[in-house]
Structures are given as C-alpha cells and as structure tokens.
Structure 1
Amino acid sequence: MAKKLFDYQLDETVDGYFLLKDSEVRIAKNGKKFLAINFQDTSGEISAKFWDASDQDVDHFQAGRVVHLHGKRENYQGNPQIKIQQMRLTHAGEPQDVQQFVEHAPLNSDTMQEAINQYVFAITEPNWNRIVRRLLTKYHDDFFNYPAAKKNHHAFAGGLAYHTLSILKLAQAVSEQYPHVNRALLYAGAILHDMGKTIEMSGPVSTTYTLAGNLVGHIVLIDEQIVEACQQLKIDEQSESVLLLRHMILAHHGLLEYGSPVRPHIMEAEILHDLDELDASIQMMQTSIGHAEPGTYTERIFAMDGRNFYRPLHDATKGDQPEQGD
C-alpha cells in the first residue's frame, strides 16, 4: 500500500503521488521565481518550496493537479516540510483523480444532514426557523461539501457541516447546563454563522477565496442573505427577532480586529463565539497531535499563537493506556 504524506518520518525519502493543494508564485531574494506549495493527500498537507521555477514550471504545477513527487521529509522551524528533488505531472495510467487525495469529514453528508435537521426542529421561533430552512435549502449542496476554512480548522471536504454540527452539540450541552440560554437562538446562529463560506470560498479542492470572499467576507455575505431571505419570506427585517439573529452572525468572531463589525452584546452571541473558538481550537490541536509521535511535540500551530503541543507517551487517542501499576 502506498504511503501517505504523514507516514513518512523525518529525513525519510518521499516517493509517491500527491495533490497540489496550493501553488503560489513568489519571488526569492535573488529575484528568481519559486513556487510555495502545499502537497495534500487524505492524511493532511505538508508545505514545500520549488526553487528557480521556470515559466513552464509555473504553468505545469498549478493548484488542483496531481504530481509524482520524489523528495525528502524535513522540518523547518518546527513544522514539517518536503524538500523537492524531482516533481512531474502524472502520466496516463497513473493516479489523476483529485478526489482520491482530498481529506473528508469523519461523517458522511447524509448523517450530518439528518443530525442538523434535528436541531432545526428545535428552533421554535417561527422567523428563525423559516430563515434557517430557506438558507439551508439554498446552499444545501455546498454547505455539506465545503471545508470550514482554507488552511486552519476543519479544512477538509464536509468540514463546514461537521464544524457546524460540533458547535450544535456543544450548544445543546450548554443550554442544558444553563436553562436561561435561548436554545432556539443559539441553534439558529450556530447553523448560519459560517454558511457564508459557501460564497467566500471556491470549494473543497485546492480551496481559494472568491472575489466576494476577499472583498466582503463570509460574515457580511451571510448577513446579506438573511436580509434577502426576510424579504422573500415577508418577514420584517427590522423586527427584534431578525436583529437578534443577525447579531449572532455579525458578532461571532468576537472582536473587531478579527472581522466582526460588532462585539457580542447578548449572551447567546458570546456563547456562540466561545463555542466556535473552542471547536476550532480542538480540531487544530487534534489534527496536529495526530501527526506527532507519542513523547514528541506537534508542529507549531500558526492560528494558536504559534504554540506547539506535547503528545503524551500514554496517549488515549490511540489507546496507549498505561499498564496497571505504571
């Protein structure tokens, strides 16, 4: 069986077929072009530099193409990296289906759809329920297929719905612990909070940001869709219920410098922000820890202040439990 990217150990020769998830042209200090690359397969992604790239190289090695790679697994500043020795596009008869190299959510779309629908039933406020149903229907296919991010948390096919479902499960636990929380509002906000990423991003393969994503962003994009849904459904967009729902979306990044146009000013908005942060952080740590050997540290996680995390020798995630008496 062919090795995956993260099966290769430090200093081991890498030889196999991988997807170019990203391939960006940059200029080195010597003035020559190079490609900043992220190789991907179902085990994850690892970065690389293709130095002294010719115009032909730039044309050949574009994001979304499958290549045969010969190189070496290295570390650079605490992060895994591939030193490219040889690279070419695949030939006829070799792997070329990009879907073979795309990481997917642990749950399939049908399972996630059924689970999320149960939470929709619990949104008892009529305006919120109608708006959520309208937008879930409108963006259904992309919502259950897109990643939740290009690079950091839940950056895999189906990651958007998986992240949403994770937050809903956390929201259910919080609302059971704290009965005064408006469960229906929290569920509605959780389902819609990242739905704008279906407009912000290009899709699950070699994900890029769309023009609207770069210039407007997913928070404003889905807020616009909520207003449009209100107009179509004949709901007063200035009613308190709609303004509360819009606030949930607009405030979910928590801070102005993180992209929210307003900070949370209702309890449910603060909870949604906290749960969003919690789920994203756990996913990033879990992914990195899964790539580290017991007794070692993970790569540095840029989105978590560049920190790395220690994987204990007796790691419960792989059943490495201490013996009796240890």
Structure 2
Amino acid sequence: MEFNAKVDNMNVGSDFQNINVTLVNGDKKNLKLTDEQARKIELGKTYHFEVESYLKDEKEQFKVLSFVGIFEYIQDPVQLKEELRNFYEYAPVDMKVLRDSIHSYMNAIENKVLSDITKAIFKQYEHSFFMFPAAVRFHHAYIGGLAYHTKVMLDTAKQFADIYPYLNKDLLYSGILLHDICKVDELNGFEGGEYTLEGQLIGHLVMASIKVAETAKTLGYEKEEAVLVLNHILLSHHGLPNFGAARKPATAEAMLIWYIDTIDSKFTVLGEELEKTQPGDFTQGIAVLDKTRFYKTKL
C-alpha cells in the first residue's frame, strides 16, 4: 500500500516506534517504524509512504517499508499544491499562473549577462522556489509565498519602469528574481520551520551575492559591470545596515527594489489583518508596522 500523509505526532520508546499520520483524504493511520526510520522522520512534515499491513491481536497494523519526502517524490509544484492543499496554507494565487508569470519576466531580460546568470541560478532553485515561504513568521509565511512575493514585486517594478524610463528593466527583473532566491537555503523546509545555521550566520543577501559571483565566474562574466550592479542590488535590498543590508542602495534600481520589497512585505500583512477586522474597528498591533493599529473604515 502506498499513500501520501503528514506526520501528526510521534510515539517513541525503548521498544516501540510509531507515528500517527493524516492522509490527503483525511483518513488517520498509525504506522510502525524501525529505530532507523524513527531517527529520520520529522514531525509536521509530509511523506510518501510504502507500508505493509498485518494482523496483530486480530487488529490491522501498518509497518512502514520505506518513505521519502513529498518534496522529492512530487516535482511539479502544481501537482504538489493539489496534493498538499489540505495540509498547508498556500499563496492566494493559482500556481500555474504564478509559474508562467515568473518565467515571462525572466524571458523578458534582454541583457545577455543578466539573462544568463539569472536563468542559470534560477534553474538550480526552481523546484524549491515555487514551494518555499518568503519568511518564517512575518510576511508571505505560507507555501508559495516566496514566488508570490517575487511576482508582486515584478509587477510593481514594471509599472515604475513605465513611469520612470531611466530605470533599467533588465536590472530590476534580474535583481527581483534573485533577491530572495537563497531563502531556499536560509530556511529549513518549504513548510516554514526555522532558519538554517547558514541562514542565521550568513543570511540570504550574502548567500545570493556569493551565488551570483560564482555563476558569473563559471560563465566568464566576472568582470562585467552588470554583475557588479546586480550584486549591489542583492547586498542592499534591505536598505539599511540595521535591517540586514550589507550596503545602502546606491543605484536607482537598488533603491526601488528596497522600496517595493518593503511595501509588499508590509502591505500584504496589513491587508491580511484588515481582512480579519470589522469595519469601524482597529486591527491588532502589526509587528512589521511598528505594532501600529490601523482603522478599517466603513466606507
């Protein structure tokens, strides 16, 4: 028997190892594990299980023969969403539309250096990119949040570039597509969870900058100005050192990406809080907005 299921709780003792899981259709099962299996499985995560049933005291039992993380078992993010939507909160957008939009912006980059670097890096991370959240707690903290946040920023940057034609669209699109790409390495799983050791000690800004430098060298572009200004965007997109930026923005494109990154992270959370608030009332204090309470008008 094979099925996909999320681990709800674990019961491990000196002479027993079992887990309770919930299947996609809502059914519950208790599964028996070996010592080695119990050490590898994680609470709250979803796996594809192969199990064998047997009778004990006239009651059906299930022994795990093998398991693999659902992320490794299903590669297509559209199919993954269908399989996992009952287990996790997802970005409020159709996954196929989201994927097609991201690829259209990537294909719109005309500068060969920026295009080659962006596509090379994105290819390494694409599977994870469409599943990971944008943060653990503060904004877009749901499956697909990273891609959704990126799409909103791209849509916003396109409008700014139409208004202010001196902005370089290639730099904007490349910088936005890569600015949070290493959150895939910064977080310990697409379910949210916590930050990795590398994420805590280095952080996604520097990790992305290193990735760009390595990719540029591999492609023979390390001396190109486009690489320098792209790296500046990645290192400065948090705006100020006290917010984690390695440098303050010193190009028009870097400044815009900092602004729209901040806008989307804050306005998304504000919208979520207003959705839960009755007209004529104030929201709760919002952490990403200095704990300010916002009034929802009756208009």
Superposed pair shares fold, TM > 0.5: yes
In 2, Cα distance between equivalents of 1:149 and 1:266? 26
In structure 1, the partner of 2:267 is 282
Contact 2:142 2:192 in 1 (8 A): no
User: What RMSD, in angstroms, separates the aligned Cα atoms of the two structures?
Assistant: 2.1
In structure 2, the partner of 1:150 is 136
Are residues 188 and 65 of structure 1, via their aligned partners in 2, closer, same or farther at CA, if it must alter by over 3 Å? closer
Tell me which amino acid in the other structure corresponds to 1:189: G
In 2, Cα distance between equivalents of 1:232 and 1:109? 32
Q: Secondary structure at the residue paired with 1:247?
A: helix
1:290 Cα deviation after fit: 1.2
Contact 1:171 1:186 in 2 (8 A): yes
Please list the CA deviations of residues 189-219 of structure 1 after superposition, one character each: whole Å capped at 9, or x if unmatched.
0111111101100223242101111111010
- Pick the aligned partner of 1:192 from 178, 185, 188: 178
- Pick the aligned partner of 1:262 from 219, 244, 247: 247
Asked whether 1:211 is paired with 2:197, we answer: yes
Q: Secondary structure at the residue paired with 2:86?
A: helix
- Pick the aligned partner of 1:271 from 256, 260, 267: 256
In structure 2, the partner of 1:116 is 102
Q: Secondary structure at the residue paired with 1:139?
A: helix
1:296 Cα deviation after fit: 1.4
1:240 Cα deviation after fit: 1.0
Q: Secondary structure at the residue paired with 1:103?
A: coil
TM-score after normalising by structure 1: 0.65
Q: Name the count of aligned residue pairs.
A: 225
Please list the CA deviations of residues 27-84 of structure 1 after superposition, one character each: whole Å capped at 9, or x if unmatched.
xxxxxxxxxxxxxxxxxxxxxxxxxxxxxxxxxxx96289xxxxxxxxxxxxxxxxxx
Please list the CA deviations of residues 251-308 of structure 1 after superposition, one character each: whole Å capped at 9, or x if unmatched.
1000011111100011110011011111111101011111212221111111210111
In 2, Cα distance between equivalents of 1:121 and 1:101? 33
- Pick the aligned partner of 2:89 from 95, 103, 115: 103
More helix by percentage: 2
- Pick the aligned partner of 1:64 from 38, 44, 51: 44
In structure 2, the partner of 1:312 is 297
Contact 1:64 1:98 in 2 (8 A): no
List runs of 5+ in structure 1 lacking aligned partners: 1-18, 21-61, 67-91, 315-326
Contact 1:64 1:206 in 2 (8 A): no
Are residues 137 and 109 of structure 1, via their aligned partners in 2, closer, same or farther at CA, if it must alter by over 3 Å? farther
Contact 2:45 2:191 in 1 (8 A): no
In 1, Cα distance between equivalents of 2:171 and 2:255? 12
Contact 2:109 2:173 in 1 (8 A): yes
- Pick the aligned partner of 1:139 from 78, 100, 125: 125
In 2, Cα distance between equivalents of 1:133 and 1:98? 28
In 1, Cα distance between equivalents of 2:146 and 2:89? 13
In structure 2, the partner of 1:240 is 225
Please list the CA deviations of residues 104-143 of structure 1 after superposition, one character each: whole Å capped at 9, or x if unmatched.
0112332112111111122111110001101111000110
Q: Percent identity?
A: 33
TM-score after normalising by structure 2: 0.71
Contact 1:145 1:157 in 2 (8 A): yes
